[in-house]
Amino acid sequence: MVGVTARLPLLVAALLASLVLVSGCATFPDQGAREWRPKAEGEGELGGPPALAPTVEPPPSTPAPQQQPGGQPPPPGPCEDPDPQVVAACLGPVGAVAVLPPGDEALVAERRTGRVLQVRRGAEPVQVATVPVDPATGVTGLVLSPGYAEDQLVYVLAGTPEGGQVLRIAPGEPPKPVLTGLPNTVGGALAVDADGSSLLVATGAGEGPLAGAVLRIDTLGRPAAGNPDPASPVLARGLTDPGGICVDPAARTTWVTDRTPSRDVLHRVSPGQLGAPAWTWPERPGVAGCTVLPGTVVVAQRTAGALFVLAPGRDGGFTGDPKPVLEGTYGSIGSVILAPDGLLWLGTVNRDGTAPGRTDDRVIRIQPPTGGGESAI
């Protein structure tokens, strides 16, 4: 017992010495919070940054489409047109289209209802105004104000219960007439003049001094400067049942389509009485709206269900082999307009006929036809 007691101080001393040696080789974290992360393979001196597997949440479960006999998916809904060129469907007959900058949206006027809708592919149409119309004639023209970027105004040509009128639409306000006394006819068209400040109005034959004419007015409805008679809005006379009016800003040329009892025609507009047509269609395909591309005039055809492509020459005639394109693709086409991005917008009028399609009427956005009558769609 005396030996054990004698050795006890030596054991304690040895234990204390070993603790001192261990403490000299160890390090301890500083006090305070720490952000702990899983150790990844290759981290630190043995590799680059840790490559942790990302957390991927499973997609929400959606029911599979119900299959029809033969394994085919169900047909699209009544207002879901499968054609990717179609911007809006299940509309009334389209009276006119005005494309909004930069070119992926447009204002569309339904002829019979007078509704003005803002349309864009993939979105529901939004009603922005309603024009009071006589359903027998309705809306036949729609253009943006020459100063649309600043004033946001829109102009409409329509047959109303009070007769044919040009009306101005301001955001949040009801349409207001700026020119009255026009014939209340189905034929008619509206455009912005090449000078960029005046409006051009094509009216059908009828009663009154403004019937069967191309009118040129300012945005307040007054005769534009430069008309043959400074006191009159009449620029030219000789129309019967106009379908469209369009302007070539580069050549400062105005074209107007007309349906006469014996043939359909295209006129180059000059002040005074309209002369001989620049082009005629004895088969009467139902010429309607028109638009101008560089070196090309495109005319919509209602009865033929096509676009007719012409290339004006320097002598006033046409070059190449003018021919229709898109025959039967969309049915009866009433409106055609060139957008700022170079694409064409079309409006159909199939519900004016006897056999409209399930998604008629439609607004379509396509690549323009190329020269020689071939389409680049």
- The conformation of residue 61, written as its DSSP 8-state character, comes to P
215-257 confidence digits (pLDDT tens):
999 999 999 999 999 999 999 999 999 999 999 998 899 999 9
pLDDT score at 281:
96
- Domain contains 317: yes
Closest CA relative to residue 116, chosen from 101, 106, 130: 130
CA distance 275 to 273: 6
Instruction: Please list, in sequence order, all residues whose beta carbon lies within 8 angstroms of the beta carbon of residue 184, skipping any fewer than 6 positions away.
Output: 134, 137, 159, 160, 163, 164, 206
- Domain contains 62: no
Name the domain count of the chain: 1
CA distance 203 to 279: 20
Instruction: Please list, in sequence order, all residues whose beta carbon lies within 8 angstroms of the beta carbon of residue 346, skipping any fewer than 6 positions away.
Output: 97, 300, 307, 330, 333, 335, 336, 363, 364, 365, 366
- Domain contains 29: no
Q: Specify the CATH number for the domain of residue 264.
A: 2.120.10.30
For residue 152, give its domain range.
Answer: 86-372
79-131 confidence digits (pLDDT tens):
889 999 999 999 999 999 999 999 999 999 999 999 999 999 999 999 999 99
- Domain contains 162: yes
Residue 79 CA, chain-centre distance (Å), reads 17
**Over pLDDT 90: what percentage of the chain?**
70
CA distance 244 to 318: 19
- Domain contains 92: yes
What is the rounded end-to-end Cα distance, in angstroms, of the chain? 111
CA distance 307 to 194: 23
User: Where does the pLDDT of residue 204 fall: very low under 50, low under 70, confident under 90, or very high at 90 and above?
Assistant: very high
Using CA atoms, how far residue 77 sits from 81, 89, 126, 189, 330, in Å, is 8, 11, 19, 34, 18
Contact criterion met (CB below 8 Å) for 211 and 202: no
Pairing of strands 264-268, 279-281: antiparallel
Can you give the pTM of this predicted structure?
A: 0.78
**Residue 54: pLDDT over 80:** no
- Domain contains 50: no
- Domain contains 366: yes
Closest CA relative to residue 129, chosen from 160, 154, 150, 157: 154
- Domain contains 54: no
- The conformation of residue 139, written as its DSSP 8-state character, comes to E
Contact criterion met (CB below 8 Å) for 308 and 323: yes
